[in-house]
Amino acid sequence: MTINQIVRNTVERLKAEGKVWTPEWYTEAFCAEAKKAGIVVEECKGADRFTSLLDKKTQEEVKQYRVRTTAELIRFLISKLGRLNPNEASMLLEMLISLVRVMAQSIDVLHNPEASALAKKTISILETQGGKTQIELLKQAWENFASIYDDGFLMKLSPYGKIDRLNLKKTVEGLSVEVVPSPTNDFTKFSSLLMLGLSPSIAPQMNDELVALTQKVHDNPEYISDMSFEQEIKMAIAMRISLDKKSVNDMLRVLDELLGKLSVQLIDLIEKSDVSSSEIKEIKKDLEGLGQDKAGDFKTAHKKLYTIATALEEKVEVLSKELKSHNDKVIQMGTKIASLEEELAEATHASREDFLTKLYNKRALEEFMVLKEADYERYGRNYCIAMFDLDHFKKVNDTYGHEAGDAVLKAFAQILKDQGRSNDIIGRYGGEEFLVILGDTDIEGAKRFANKVREHVQEARFMYQEERIAVSVSIGIAPRALYSSLGTTIVGADEKLYEAKKKGRNRVEPA
């Protein structure tokens, strides 16, 4: 139905109801006729276009007063603005800001650095009158602080008194800590521990300076209390660290050389598989010759690397034999697999494409419908199925021949592709029947698509051997949301197609 027809119906409706032709009555009658014709007019939505922009409280008031038209909404908002007391609202806002400022100042003096930082930031934003974004971020920061704050550290004081989580001052005042008097100085045990601590943990031995200091402490433990001992012990610790570092660097240098040789020879081994066993034996010889005079832990590392090389030799000998025996078979299998993959790709493509129209065939359409159904069940994404059938197609074949019929089918397939969107799935369902899966589409969108196709077919010039063939199409539409399953949706679309045929063909019949 066109807009002109709706206007005529509106005039007839006003005459029948005996109403005066005011803008309000005309708008009400026009919107009623448009809704009856299934046409969506933005201006007919009335106040609903703007209520979503209001806050929830005002939306509830609009609903309570049954505001329907735009004019009624404007009168309601003017009345609401007139009832507001700006002075009272301003005073209340200033009082709330003052209260928040005092609370933030109070928090700032507490013994918690995170809370104090947030309090300072709050005061700064209040003084500079920060915007909505700043206030929202600050609110989120306070919520995060409250959710992760943990006062469990107070329980560390429980051995010394009762813990009151709500009163930190009371907790501190109630602590009882006994002060144990220090015993008389006895440097003998301490001097023994000190000498052990000066011994390098990695280097094989001390140098002369460390030996002299440890001997001095051993002979006279009281020397620890001497004023000059502090400087000597600092120098001794520095020497001990220096010795350990030097020893570590020496070992790392040797290990680097060893691992460098090992990695280079392993790469050569991979590239020269026919001499792999002899190459591994060379690695073993290098490992045996390296680090013979190294101490303690380095010898252990050296031994582990030698063990690895031995195992590599055994594995490579076995692997080399197996690779030589199976190399030809692997090459043959690779050639065969490549050939099978090409055949499989061709067969897969052919199994999903209609040979005549180059659209998806019925098998591919069924697979796509299963995927759409999974999206619908998981995310609630609606889709519509539109079934197309060329009217009196048998007559085309009988009159002009099957070659003409094939030409019409290919031309109609091209129309579907031209009118469809990139995400619409279009295919030939069988014979002169075609099926389109319209993803994320409601019934109104599906009807618009179907009518575009129908009108294009009706106006198109289907030519065969310089003779025009008149063609029309009937369409049945079923949205998934109206049916209980995928199967019933397909049946629904087919039933609506049959209904379109019964009502005279060349029409769209929606569910």
pLDDT, tens digit (0-9, with 9 covering 90-100), for 202-250: 556 667 776 777 777 778 877 777 777 777 777 777 776 777 677 767 7
User: Any idea what the Cα angle at residue 362 is, between residues 356 and 368, rounded to 5°?
Assistant: 120
For the ranges 9-18, 110-119, 261-270, 370-379, the one whose mean pLDDT is highest:
370-379
> What's the average model confidence in pLDDT over 378-399?
96
Q: Out of 255-269, 338-352, 364-378, 399-413, pick the least confident.
A: 255-269
Q: Out of 71-80, 173-182, 364-373, 441-450, pick the least confident.
A: 173-182
pLDDT at 84: 62
Question: Do residues 95 and 78 share a domain?
Answer: no
* Tokens matching residue 459: 């106006």
Per-residue DSSP letter, 472: -
Strands 473-479 and 508-510: parallel
pLDDT at 16: 87
pLDDT at 117 over 90: no
The reply to whether 167 falls in a domain is: no
The reply to whether 297 falls in a domain is: yes
> Sorting pLDDT into bands at 50, 70 and 90, what band is 118?
confident
Domain span at residue 500? 362-510
CB 384 within 8 A of CB 509: no
Q: Out of 161-165, 304-308, 410-414, 422-426, pick the least confident.
A: 304-308
Single out the residue in 83, 100, 132 at which a domain terminates.
83
- Which one, of 31, 27, 24, 33, lies nearest residue 6 by Cα? 33
The reply to whether 368 falls in a domain is: yes
The reply to whether 385 falls in a domain is: yes
Dist CA 36 CA 47 (whole Å): 20
Question: Do residues 379 and 500 share a domain?
Answer: yes
CB 279 within 8 A of CB 265: yes
Q: Out of 16-20, 43-47, 199-203, 252-256, pick the least confident.
A: 199-203
pLDDT at 270: 54
Q: Out of 265-279, 345-359, 440-454, pick the least confident.
A: 265-279
How many angstroms from the chain centroid is the CA of residue 107? 39
Long-range contacts: 358-361, Cβ < 8 Å, 24+? 358/413, 359/413, 359/416, 359/417, 359/426, 359/427, 359/428, 359/434, 360/425, 360/426, 360/427, 360/428, 361/427, 361/428
pLDDT in tens, 124-144: 877 777 677 777 787 787 777
- When the pLDDT of each residue in the chain is averaged and rounded to a whole number, the result is 79
pLDDT at 56: 84
What residues are paired with 474 via a beta bridge?
A: 389
> What's the average model confidence in pLDDT over 262-291?
57
Number of H helices, E strands in the chain: 19, 7
pLDDT at 80: 76
Taking the chain, what is the end-to-end CA distance rounded to the nearest angstrom?
A: 18
Please indicate whether residue 372 or residue 212 has the higher confidence score (pLDDT).
372
The reply to whether 451 falls in a domain is: yes
Question: Do residues 345 and 205 share a domain?
Answer: yes
> What's the average model confidence in pLDDT over 276-286?
58
Tell me the pTM: 0.37
Question: Do residues 297 and 385 share a domain?
Answer: no
Question: Do residues 266 and 223 share a domain?
Answer: yes
pLDDT at 399 over 80: yes
Measured CA distances, 387 to 67, 227, 440 (Å): 42, 102, 17
Question: Do residues 236 and 320 share a domain?
Answer: yes
pLDDT at 184: 46
**By three-state DSSP, how is residue 65 classified?**
coil
pLDDT at 203: 58
In the sheet that 425-430 helps form, which strands lie side by side, from edge to edge? 425-430, 433-439, 383-390, 473-479, 508-510
CB 258 within 8 A of CB 287: yes
pLDDT at 165 over 60: yes
Single out the residue in 48, 64, 83 at which a domain terminates.
83
> What's the average model confidence in pLDDT over 483-506?
97
CB 154 within 8 A of CB 165: yes
pLDDT at 274: 52
> Sorting pLDDT into bands at 50, 70 and 90, what band is 322?
confident
Percent of the chain with pLDDT over 70: 71
Three-class DSSP labels, 338-381: HHHHHHHHHHHHHHHECCCCCCECHHHHHHHHHHHHHHHHHHCC
CB 294 within 8 A of CB 251: yes
What is the CATH classification number for the domain harbouring 484? 3.30.70.270
Question: Do residues 298 and 421 share a domain?
Answer: no
**Residue 43 Ramachandran class (φ > 0 left, ψ -120 to 50 alpha, else beta):** alpha
pLDDT at 509: 98
pLDDT at 344: 63
pLDDT at 276 over 70: no
Per-residue DSSP letter, 181: P
CB 360 within 8 A of CB 354: yes
The reply to whether 20 falls in a domain is: yes
> What is the b/e burial string over 168-203, where b = at least 16 CB atoms within 10 angstroms of the residue's CB?
eeebeeeeeeeeeeeeeeeeeeebeebeeebebebb
pLDDT at 407: 95
- Which one, of 414, 411, 403, lies nearest residue 465 by Cα? 403
User: Any idea what the Cα angle at residue 351 is, between residues 350 and 354, rounded to 5°?
Assistant: 70
pLDDT in tens, 49-93: 777 778 888 888 888 888 777 777 788 888 877 666 666 656 656
The total number of structural domains that make up the chain: 4
Single out the residue in 23, 58, 83 at which a domain terminates.
83
CB atoms within 10 A of CB 227: 6
pLDDT at 295: 46
Percent of the chain with pLDDT over 90: 30
Dist CA 331 CA 340 (whole Å): 14
The reply to whether 174 falls in a domain is: no
Q: Where are the beta strands (DSSP E) in 379-493?
A: 383-390, 425-430, 433-439, 462-464, 467-469, 473-479
pLDDT at 262: 62
pLDDT at 277: 57
